[in-house]
Structure 1
Amino acid sequence: MVGVKIKTPNDRNVGQSMWRGSRLKCPHCGSGHMFSSYLKVAKTCDNCGEELHHHRADDFPPYITIVIVGHLLIGIMLHMEMTWQVAPAVYLYTLGPLAIILPLLMLPSVKGAVVAMQWANRMHGFDPAYRGT
């Protein structure tokens, strides 16, 4: 049939891969480490040898992180404003540190999920059929 994709045994599960990536694990085996340092993706998985250096995550993980944290902080700020009489300094002392700490904590998991999504969809050199072209 035209337009129907037939699943093959080599298909990669996007959801499972992204879950593994968000846990900072290899999207292929789920055991090896995806990162060699804070945000540096390892060249290969230390467990199964899957090549991970093909990723092109670029600015997408910080963008997603900023959107999530921004929505969270605005929701907290609106709740505080509607519930209590809050001095502006309270926002500075509470939400300021959260605006710095939350993105730093979330960024590796978000980048891991983005790299895993690229791996599962065979993007940017993760497809062995197109390597070297």
Structure 2
Amino acid sequence: MSDEEKRDAKQAAIRGFMLKCPSCGIGKTLHKYLKVRDKCSHCGIELHHASVDDGPAYFTLMVVVAVIFPLFAILYTQFDPNPFLVALSLMGVATGLALWLLPRVKGVFLGLQWAARLHGF
């Protein structure tokens, strides 16, 4: 791919969400849960430039809170649940959602950095 070509940010973000290389869409970007690979195993693009810092964690937290708080409201307005059981179950849902979402959000950030040619991409 030439440096003059425009990179599609939307496609790169979607590929990042699917944990695929933002350039080719085939190779994987992460290994060991959140560790960015040095380069794509398929196209060879260097990925070690990625510097997403705490952005994915903050964004993931915002999404999880935006999902969990309405669930509290729905549960307490529609039913008369035991508060202890609701707290335990929604903590489990929030933890599971955060663990599933965090690498995908990191992939989106990585894809957007690649598309914008930031940090050496």
Normalising by structure 1, we get a TM-score of 0.85
Q: Could you say which residue in structure 1 is the equivalent of 2:39?
A: 44
Q: Which runs of 4+ in 1 moved over 6 A?
A: none
Within the candidate set 48, 53, 57, 1:53 is matched to: 48
1:100 deviates by 1.4
C-alpha RMSD of the superposition: 1.3
- Is residue 67 of structure 1 aligned with residue 58 of structure 2? no
1:51 deviates by 0.8
Rg comparison, structure with higher value: 1
> Aligned partners of 2:65, 2:86: CA distance in 1, in Å?
14
Q: Could you say which residue in structure 2 is the equivalent of 1:122?
A: 117
> Aligned partners of 1:81, 1:88: CA distance in 2, in Å?
9
1:88 deviates by 1.0
- Is residue 96 of structure 1 aligned with residue 119 of structure 2? no
Where in structure 2 are there 5+ consecutive unaligned residues? none
Percent of matched pairs sharing the same residue: 38
Amino acid at match of 1:97: G
1:93 deviates by 2.4
Normalising by structure 2, we get a TM-score of 0.93
Amino acid at match of 1:42: R
